[in-house]
């Protein structure tokens, strides 16, 4: 796993920092058998430089797999010492949905944003579930994933 933090420009609309968690070849599947949402273990954290700045969150998994029933995922966020909570506006199919009958092997992606309300550290993590039982592989073995969080000055 590689974690890269880049500092850059200054001024409104400028990218201030980028944090990226990237795995090019996941050795074993990131999966769950939980019928309720649980953390995937894939995280990226960023500490905003200023309240009011825009935080962009992007996730991509090149291949997921569900060999039995249904799999779903949603992006969760932790602010400072708080608990992880579903991002505001998260729908049932926030990151992705798959079924063993169709869409069995497919990528999952997410693009969202948050306006920082403080300079408390923010942690992002996809939460996953297999609501009707079985095993949902959020990231298939030998696939890749990335979770990128970017701060933009506002």
Select from 127, 126, 118, 153 the least CA-distant residue to 18. Answer: 153
Q: Are 56 and 150 in contact (CB under 8 A)?
A: yes
Q: Summarize pLDDT for 124-134 with one digit per residue, the tens.
A: 999 999 888 88
Select from 27, 30, 19, 15 the least CA-distant residue to 64. Answer: 30
Select from 73, 60, 150 the least CA-distant residue to 114. Answer: 150
Parallel, antiparallel, or unpaired for β 2-7 and 15-23? antiparallel
Q: How confident is the model at residue 6, as a pLDDT?
A: 41
Q: Summarize pLDDT for 81-100 with one digit per residue, the tens.
A: 999 999 887 665 677 777 76
Q: How confident is the model at residue 69, as a pLDDT?
A: 75
Calpha distance 154→13 (Å, rounded): 6
Q: How confident is the model at residue 128, as a pLDDT?
A: 92
**pLDDT higher than threshold 90 for residue 76:** yes
Q: Mean pLDDT throughout 10-17?
A: 82
* Higher per-residue pLDDT: 45 or 96: 45
Calpha distance 40→73 (Å, rounded): 9
Select from 46, 53, 52, 55 the least CA-distant residue to 113. Answer: 55
């Amino acid at each position: 796993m590689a974690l890269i933090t880049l500092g850059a420009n200054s001024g409104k609309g400028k990218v201030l920092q980028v944090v990226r968690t990237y795995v090019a070849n996941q050795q074993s599947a990131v999966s769950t058998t939980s019928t309720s949402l649980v953390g995937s273990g894939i995280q990226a954290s960023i500490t905003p430089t200023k309240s009011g700045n825009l935080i962009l969150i992007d996730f991509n998994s090149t291949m997921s797999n569900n060999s039995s029933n249904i799999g779903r995922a949603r992006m969760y966020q932790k602010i400072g010492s708080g608990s992880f909570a579903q991002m505001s506006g998260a729908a049932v199919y926030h990151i992705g949905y798959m079924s063993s009958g169709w869409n069995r092997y497919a990528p999952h992606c997410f693009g969202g944003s948050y306006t920082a309300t403080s300079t408390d550290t923010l942690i992002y993590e996809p939460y996953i579930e297999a609501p009707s039982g079985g095993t949902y592989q959020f990231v298939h073995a030998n696939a890749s994933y990335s979770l990128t969080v970017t701060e933009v000055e506002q």
